[in-house]
Amino acid sequence: MKRMIRPLSLWMLLAATLLAWQSAAARGLPDFTELVEEAAPGVVNISTTRMVQSRNNPLQGFGGQELPEIFRHFFGDRFPMPPGMEQGPGRYQERQSLGSGFIISEDGYIMTNAHVVDGADEIVVRLNDRRELAAELVGSDERTDVALLKVEAESLPPLKLGNSDTLRVGEWVAAIGSPFGFDHSVTAGIVSAIERTLPRDAYVPFIQTDVAINPGNSGGPLFNLDGEVVGINSQIFTRSGGFMGLSFAIPINVAMDVADQLRDDGQVRRGWLGVMIQPVSRDLAESFGMDSPSGALIADLDPEGPAARGGLQAGDVILEVDGSRVHDSSTLPRLIGRTAPGSEVELELMRDGQRRQFTVTVGDWPDAERATASRPQESRQARLGISVGELERAEREQIGIEGGVRVLEVDPRGAAAAAGIRPGDILVSIDHRAITGASQLVELVSELPTDRAVPVRLYRAGRSLFVALRLAAD
């Protein structure tokens, strides 16, 4: 006699199966409880205070008009300023801000973001045990957004530091910080990308995560599953002002290099080549005889900089630095920036369709950024679809070139327009041949091929860059 499974037994079987599946799934997820218990004492809250001058004078009347002298006589002494702040048209007010940080040594060194303590007159660190300690700013580096603080204390619980170079995309990470002032809040996620370049941050290969980061998290640690700090939470991408799934952390290896220099020398030194670079597009890669677009194209260089002294030229494409591949133009500043000034580096580059090796002694990043100054100011070149004019000697000397022509008009249907050439551009070379004048340009263009793109070097708004020009068959 066949036995039938009763409906109740069937539901119990399904429930047991579901519970078993959930249990198996739960075992595959990370448990952050031990990590948080061990790491929380090393995470701190940072509050800053700075005095800012208000726009309105306390002795001003309605509409911003100065009060009559008689009122100043009666009320002037009732608005005392803090010592040393009596000058200026406005009164001073306290502005407070919050951030996070973490302990890196038992004797009181603490790391955070430079923007957390920027302009602070007073910095207070609140520990996990609720102690509040005044902190001294040892130093900060705006380029990497790293700051080092010091508090007078002993036997503090430093966090374990990991190796950010071993991080992999998809790896679980967690953050502890003070979003909106809520101390020791924990959030978790995964590494979304590594070596991410952000605008104006060419020296930091950011770690991108989907860990929930909000105002107040800045400066706090990013942990791997071993409880090691692998990054400092620094920025978010947002259109609302809050978390949108894109968070960026400074790799701890980069941050510690900066912190060590700040502690030992009081300043940060970076390697410098003295070059202006741009990305290599597919058409530019073809014009330089490369199989694929990669590397950093030198658009211009300081005539007295390390690269020029080492024999590099505008139009060279740097492919490797000491054996490390330069994937794109954003990679080069990081590789050179972390090289100690005075060190020699082996560069592999593409020049005239051939790979070549150069040895360059890296310089020290100048205090003020160097820039090539130029002020872009008739002959018609029908094949390119442009009208050009000669340059004055003073203009050439100012730019530092011997020839060149200024683009006056551009036919929107011509080859020059398709390459991105604009009115006001100064053409310096075409297909690696210097342009000495308008008449010579006609001769150069007549010899250009139509089966491939050729590089054109030009100056635009004070910057040198290359574009790829492709001519249509006659």
Task: Classify domain 271-364 at the CATH superfamily level.
Answer: PDZ domain (2.30.42.10)
State yes or no: pLDDT of 57 exceeds 50.
no
What residues have CB less than 8 Å from 442, skipping those under 6 apart? 379, 381
The rounded distance, in Å, linking the Cα atoms of 8 and 3 is 14
What residues have CB less than 8 Å from 454, skipping those under 6 apart? 287, 430, 431, 448, 468, 469, 470, 471
State yes or no: pLDDT of 314 exceeds 70.
yes
Percentage of residues of the chain with pLDDT beyond 70: 80
pLDDT of residue 41: 95
| In the block, residue with structure tokens 């031990």 | 34
Please state the pTM of the whole predicted model: 0.64
List the catalytic residue out of 115, 118, 281, 411: 115
pLDDT of residue 334: 85
The rounded distance, in Å, linking the Cα atoms of 389 and 375 is 14
Q: What phi, psi does 87 have (nearest 5°)?
A: -85, 160
State yes or no: pLDDT of 419 exceeds 60.
yes
State yes or no: pLDDT of 70 exceeds 60.
no
What CATH fold (topology level) applies to the domain 379-469? Pdz3 Domain (2.30.42)
Residue type, 175: A
Residue type, 264: D
Question: Is residue 421 within 8 Å of residue 467, measured between CB atoms?
Answer: yes
Asked if 115 is an active-site residue, the reply is yes
The more confident residue out of 242 and 305 is 305
pLDDT of residue 375: 31
The answer regarding whether domain 164-265 maps to CATH 3.40.630.10 reads: no
pLDDT of residue 6: 52
pLDDT of residue 35: 94
The more confident residue out of 282 and 23 is 282
Task: Please tell me if the domain spanning 271-364 has the same topology as the one spanning 379-469.
Answer: yes
pLDDT of residue 367: 52
pLDDT band at 472; cut points 50, 70, 90: confident
State yes or no: pLDDT of 54 exceeds 70.
no
Token pair listed for 470: 């492709």
State yes or no: pLDDT of 366 exceeds 70.
yes
Segment 306-326 shows an average pLDDT of 93
pLDDT of residue 26: 53
pLDDT band at 269; cut points 50, 70, 90: confident
State yes or no: pLDDT of 198 exceeds 60.
yes
The rounded distance, in Å, linking the Cα atoms of 174 and 159 is 14
State yes or no: pLDDT of 199 exceeds 70.
no
pLDDT of residue 18: 64
The rounded distance, in Å, linking the Cα atoms of 261 and 53 is 34
List the catalytic residue out of 47, 97, 141, 145: 145
pLDDT of residue 85: 47
Domain ranges within the chain, ordered by starting residue: 164-265, 271-364, 379-469
pLDDT of residue 377: 32
Percentage of residues of the chain with pLDDT beyond 90: 43
State yes or no: pLDDT of 183 exceeds 70.
yes
pLDDT of residue 424: 85
Distance of CA 451 to the CA centre of its chain: 38
Concatenating the DSSP letter of every residue in 57-112 gives: -TTB-GGGPBPPHHHHHHHGGGSPPPTT---SSS-EEEEEEEEEEEE-STTSEEEE
State yes or no: pLDDT of 355 exceeds 90.
yes
Cα distance between the two ends of the chain: 92
List the catalytic residue out of 164, 218, 294, 429: 218
Asked if 145 is an active-site residue, the reply is yes
Segment 268-297 shows an average pLDDT of 89
The rounded distance, in Å, linking the Cα atoms of 6 and 1 is 15
pLDDT tens track for 373-411: 223 334 556 678 888 888 777 677 777 787 888 888 888
Q: What is the mean pLDDT of the chain?
A: 81
State yes or no: pLDDT of 341 exceeds 80.
yes
